[in-house]
Homo-oligomer: A and B are copies of this chain.
Amino acid sequence: MESRENIFFNKVSIIGVGLLGASFALALREKGLCKTIIGFGRSEDNLKRAKERGIIDDYSLDVRKACEDSDLILLSTPVGAFRDIAERIKDALKHGVLITDVGSVKGRLVHELESLMPDGVHYIGSHPIAGSDKSGIDDARADLFNNARCIITPTEKSDELAKGKIILTWEAVGAKVEVIDPFAHDEIYAAVSHFPHIIAYSIVNTVGDVDSKYIGYAGKGFKDATRIALSSPEMWRDISIFNKENLIKMIDAFRENLDKITKCLMENNASCIEDEFLRAQTLRKKLK
Q: Mark A216-253, 1 if CB is under 8 A from B, else 0.
A: 11111111111111110110111011001001111101
- Rounded to whole angstroms, the CA-CA distance of A196 and B198 in the bound complex is 14
Residue A6, interface by CB 8 Å: no
Q: Is the CB of B191 within 8 A of A195?
A: no
**Bound CA span A261–B201, Å:** 10
Q: Are A276 and B207 in contact (CB under 8 A)?
A: no
A84 within 8 A of B: no
User: 7 nearest interchain CB pairs?
Assistant: A233-B277, A201-B280, A204-B280, A237-B274, A192-B218, A233-B278, A202-B257
Contact B233 A207 (CB under 8 A): no
Residues of B within 8 A of A149 (CB): 217, 219
Given the known A-B contacts A210-B253, A258-B251, A276-B205, are A193 and B215 also in contact in the complex, defined by CB atoms under 8 Å?
no
Partner of A265, one of B211, B225, B244: B244
**New A-B contacts (15) at CB < 8 Å, excluding given A191-B210, A191-B211, A204-B280:** A131-B221, A149-B217, A187-B214, A191-B207, A201-B261, A202-B254, A202-B280, A203-B254, A205-B283, A215-B286, A215-B287, A222-B287, A230-B284, A251-B261, A254-B258
Q: Give per-residue flags for A129-162: 1 if the beta carbon is below 8 A from chain B beta carbons, else 0.
A: 1011100000000000000010000000000000
Q: Are A230 and B198 in contact (CB under 8 A)?
A: no
- How many copies are assembled? 2
| B257–A209 touching, CB < 8 Å | yes
Total number of A residues with any Cβ neighbor in B under 8 Å: 87
**Interface contact B191-A283, CB-CB below 8 Å:** no
| A270 B241 Cβ-Cβ under 8 A | yes
A218: B residues at CB distance < 8 A:
192-193, 287
A266 within 8 A of B: yes
Contacting pair B274 A233 (CB below 8 A): yes
A262 interfacial by beta-carbon distance below 8 Å: yes
- Chain B residues, Cβ within 8 Å of A214: 187-188, 191-192
Chain A 28-69 against B: per-residue CB contact (8 Å), 1 yes, 0 no?
A: 000000000000000000000000000000000000000000
> Do the beta carbons of B277 and A210 come within 8 Å of each other?
no
- The reply on A172 being an interface residue by CB < 8 A is no
For residue A248, give the distance in angstroms from its CB to the closest CB of chain B: 6
Residue in B closest to A235 when the chains form the complex, CB atoms: B277
Q: Are B215 and A281 in contact (CB under 8 A)?
A: no
Kindly list chain B residues whose C-beta atoms are within 8 Å of the C-beta of A255.
Answer: 255, 258
Q: A273 at interface (Cβ–Cβ under 8 A)?
A: yes
Chain B contacts for A133, CB-based, 8 A: 221
CB-based nearest B residue for A233? B277
Task: Select A201's contact among B195, B219, B277, beta carbons within 8 Å.
Answer: B277
Q: How far is the CA of A248 from the CA of B206 in the complex (A)?
A: 13
